[in-house]
Structures are given as structure tokens and as C-alpha cells.
Amino acid sequence: MPDFEPVLLANVGVPNSFTREVYESTGGYAALRKVLKEMSPNDVKELVKSSGLRGRGGAGFPTGLKWTFLPKDHPGPIYFCLNADESEPGTFNNRILMEDDPHQVIEGIILSCFATGASTCYFYLRYEYPLCYERVENALAECYAAGYLGKNILGTDYSLDMYVHRGAAAYICGEETGLIESLEGKRAWPRIKPPFPAVEGAFRKPTVVNNVETCACVAQICRRGAEWFKSIGVPPDPGNPRDPGSFGPKLYCLSGHVNKPGCYEAPLGITVNDLINNYGGGMRDGKRPKMAIPGGISMGLLTADEFDCPLDFAGPGKYGCLGLGTAAVVVMDESVSIVDYLYNSCQFFDHESCGQCTPCREGTAWSRNMLKRIKAGQGRFRDLDLLLEIGDTIGIIPGTTICGLADGAAWPLKNGIRKFRQELEDYIKRTNPTGYMETRPPPALVSLDVH
């Protein structure tokens, strides 16, 4: 095991780590006491800004900067939404934080709410996390009892209420404006931006949405200082004036064909190879790796030759992927067919597209149907070009959709087909020897499998 001492996961594995007593015995809530006594909301904003913290929910937007987009001297209310909808395939770090150290998350949220002037926090938790729900509800009750939540926190004039709001099994509720619509009691249809939530969010009021791990980082920054945070990770690339760097520890989720799948804390910037070999115990059954997802399935695909890719905010982009995403690495050995990978990915996005934008709704459904046909031995070379056309045209990056789900659907197609074209062509030729060059429209799909 590498020598990096975990901070965010320090309490994981400690008996009763989810109780206030244990959290406080390791220094928990001292930062909250100190901040409320000695600092102004603006000081906290500046502290977080100077730490270089970037959001851990997928987009990597600088947290302190996002907070400064709130209107100045707003009469209120300002809302804070905790994004605990974690549903990106491969990702489970938020679950571990909430199950094993909910107080660290809550301390971070209270500090973030104080910094942003929010008086109500909605803790948007996916329904499929029943243990998190229980632990978080208990932790919140402990906080109300201790005077960390409610009216006049610790005798100051700052008041905050925090409520858990449970989702109902829809990935799109993780998109911040989808989350807000869902919170308001509607279909989780992402909103067209601008206005951004900081200006007009939940209940048409200024709203901050942050991820669970982001808030845990805020707690540690307030406890240990911005300099500590900046001493970990990767500084900005001097050749790129727009790169804010990748500072701090990060929770990497490792799953798939490795010996020890799990959530590991490491400085931002370790490579895929490091993660597999130094943390994950190497490849399962000694098999050779074929490819890996760098940060949740939305981020695309790395080939085994690209495992020197550093897992910081800029790394995966240099290897043709969308970005670091949630830093959830899914490793696949040589037994995995690229067709199965693509089909599974298309199936997911087809199921989870909210259906508002035609390119996303139709693109995800057609790509799934085409992959289903290819899988069943009815593929044509032409399908690969059609799939690439879908991949290259759906998403906010090409500018055809409202939210980033479509970009997430596009990247597996773009990377999968461009990086593994030969294998796909071989598969199509082998399974459809008489029809692979066909260019006329294929007959309608009959249902080829049960689910």
C-alpha cells in the first residue's frame, strides 16, 4: 500500500465511526466552532477559493468561484442543495462517506452553507442508499441536539436547517438543475442555462449545488488550512493559463477485473497503473488488462496502452476522454468484448435519458438498438459510422442538448469505436459474413432479448 495517509477516509473502519462521539474524538466539529467564532462568511469563501478546491461531482468547477456567483447582498433565502444522488456507474465514494463518516460531510455542508449565506439545506439523497439514509438522519438528529443545526448555531446569530430529500431512482436527478426540478416536486428535467442556479435555482432563489465529497473537502480545508490542501495534488500547467490545477486528496473508486476493488484515497494525479497495481492488488486472475473507464462511464474509455494516464482534472482529456468525472475507474480484462461494453453503456443512457432533447432521446435509443442488432449478428460496417455520427453530434459540447447526459452517452461511442474499430469490424464481419457490407436500411428490430 502506498504511504499516503488518508484524510477523507481516516475514520472509515473505526468502530461506530458514524456517531458524533467518535467524529468529535478525532477532532470533528472543532473547525465549525472556530469558524463560527472567528471568521466571516466571506473569509470562508476566500479560504476555499485559495485552496484551489474543484468540485468532486464530475464537472470539476472551482468551488470557491462558484460560490462567488451568488448575488451580493441578496435578501434571501439562499438554498444549498447537497448532491448525494450518486448514480454514475462505477461510482460509490459518496456512499462510503455517508455510511462511515456522515458527520464529516455534514460539518462540511454547515461550513459551506455558512460561507454562502444559505439558511436551508436540502440533502438530496438517492433512494437506493437505505443505510446512508439511516446514518445521515441519525447524524442530523445528533447535530440538532448538539446545537450545530437549528436556530442560533453555537450561540451565534447564524441559523440553518437541513432536510434529507429522497430521490426515486433516476440518474438525471444528479444533474444539478434536474435535481432542483425534482426537489420542487416535478419531473427531473434539466433546465436550460443560463440562468445558472447561483442566480435562479431552487424555488427561483439563488442556489448552490455541491457534491458530498466536495463538502467533505471543505470540512478538511477549514480544519487543516488551504496550504495543506494545496500541498497535495498537481499544480496548474504553466503552459495552459486556463488550468486551475488539481489540488487535494481524491477518492478513487476502483471496480471491475481487479483483485481488490474498493474506494481508495490518493493525491490527485496518480495514474491508472498506480491505482490498479498499488491499490487494487493488480489484475484479477493475473489476466491482461484491455481497457478501463477513467471516471465513471460518461467519461469514455482508455486502452491498456494508455494506463499511464494521470487521474487529475486535466489527465483523461489528454487521452481523448471527456475528463476525470467522478474518478471511478472500471477495469476490464482481455476477456471483455468491446461490443458488450458499448451495448451496456448505450443501454444505460437510453434508460436514463430524460427525453427532453431530441438528439439525446433519439440518439441514445437508436445507438442502443443498433448495438443490440450488432451484438445479435446483424451488424454492418455502416453502423459504425452511424454510431460515430450520433457520438459526434449529441451533447452540450456540440451544442445540441440541454444537459451533459448526452455528452456522457457520446464519449463511450466516440472512444470505443475510434480506439477499437478493428475489433468491431472483425466482430461484424465474423458474425454477419453475408451482410456486413450492406448499406440499405436494416429491417425493423425484433425483440432480441428479455431485458
Partner 1 sequence: MSEVTSDVTTQRVLTDEMVAAIKAFFPRYPTRQAVTLPALHVVNERLRYVPLQAVVEIAELLELAPAQVQDTLTFYGMFKQDAPHGQTRAWVCRSMSCMLLGANELLDHICHKTGTRPGETTADGSTTIEFAECLGACEFAPCILANKTLHKCVTSHQADQLLNEWKTKPAP
Single out the segment in contact with ligand FMN by CB under 6 A; choices: 49-57, 229-237, 250-258, 316-324: 49-57
Stretch of 52-60, 180-188, 226-234, 356-364 contacting partner 1, by CB under 8 A: 180-188
**Residues in binding contact with ligand SF4, number by CB under 6 A:** 14
Sheet holding 79-84, edge to edge: 161-166, 120-125, 79-84, 207-211
Assess 58 for contact with ligand FMN (CB under 6 A).
yes
Residue 170 corresponds to which cell in the numbers above? Answer: 433516476
Which of ligand SF4, partner 1, ligand FMN, none interacts with 154 (beta carbon under 5 to 8 A by kind)?
A: none
Candidate ranges 33-41, 58-66, 241-249, 255-263; the one touching ligand FMN (CB under 6 A): 58-66
- Closest distance to ligand FMN from the beta carbon of 214 (Å): 3
Residue 81 CB, nearest approach to ligand SF4 (Å): 18
Please answer whether residues 257 and 290 qualify as being in contact, where contact means their C-beta atoms are separated by less than 8 angstroms: no
| Closest residue by Cα to residue 360 from 399, 409, 297 | 409
Which of 216, 275, 402, 410 binds ligand SF4 (CB under 6 A)? It is 402
Residue 150 burial (CB count, 10 A) = 14
Q: Does 232 bind ligand FMN (CB under 6 A)?
A: no
Phi, psi of 441 (to 5 degrees): -55, 140
Q: Could you give the residue ranges of the DSSP H alpha helices within 9-158?
A: 20-25, 30-38, 41-51, 63-68, 93-100, 102-116, 130-146
* Site track for ligand FMN across 293-332, x = CB under 6 A: ----------------------------------------
| 446 dihedral zone (left: phi>0; alpha: psi -120 to 50; beta) | beta
Residues making up the chain, counted from first to last: 451
Half-sphere exposure of 347 (CA within 13 A, CB side): 13
Inter-residue contact 124 to 84 (CB < 8 Å): yes
Does 209 bind partner 1 (CB under 8 A)? Our answer is no
55 binds ligand FMN (CB under 6 A): yes
Of 87 and 378, the one with the shorter C-beta distance to ligand FMN is 87
End-to-end CA distance of the chain: 41
Cα–Cα distance, 135 to 98 (Å, whole number)? 7
Give the C-alpha distances (Å, rounded to integers) separating 203 from 53, 119, 164, 206, 379. Answer: 28, 14, 17, 9, 48
Strands 79-84 vs 207-211: parallel, antiparallel or unpaired: parallel
Given ligand SF4, partner 1, ligand FMN, none, residue 353, with its beta carbon under 5 to 8 Å by kind, binds: ligand SF4
Residue (85 or 383) nearer to ligand FMN, CB: 85
332 binds partner 1 (CB under 8 A): yes
How far apart are alpha carbons 43 and 48 in whole angstroms? Answer: 9
C-beta closer to ligand SF4: residue 94 or 356? 356
* In the block, residue with C-alpha cell 466536495: 214
| Helices 130-146, 102-116: crossing angle, 10 deg rounding | 60
Give CA 353 to chain center in angstroms: 17
Q: Is 201 in the site for ligand SF4 (CB under 6 A)?
A: no
CB of 392 to ligand SF4, least distance (A): 15
Query: Radius of gyration over alpha carbons of the chain, in Å?
Result: 23
Interface with ligand FMN, residue 85, by CB under 6 A: yes
**42-50, 81-89, 371-379, 423-431 -> range binding ligand FMN (CB under 6 A):** 81-89
Q: Which residues 24-63 are close enough to bind partner 1 by CB under 8 A? A: none
**386 binds partner 1 per the rule CB under 8 A:** no
Judged by the rule CB under 6 A, the positions of this chain that interact with ligand SF4 are 172, 190, 353-357, 360-361, 401-403, 405-406
Judged by the rule CB under 6 A, the positions of this chain that interact with ligand FMN are 55-59, 61, 63, 83, 85-88, 172, 174-176, 209-211, 214, 403-405, 408
Judged by the rule CB under 8 A, the positions of this chain that interact with partner 1 are 77, 86-92, 94-95, 126-131, 161, 163, 165-171, 182-188, 203, 253-257, 261-263, 293, 297, 328, 330, 332, 336, 340-341, 344-345, 347-348, 351-352, 354, 450-451
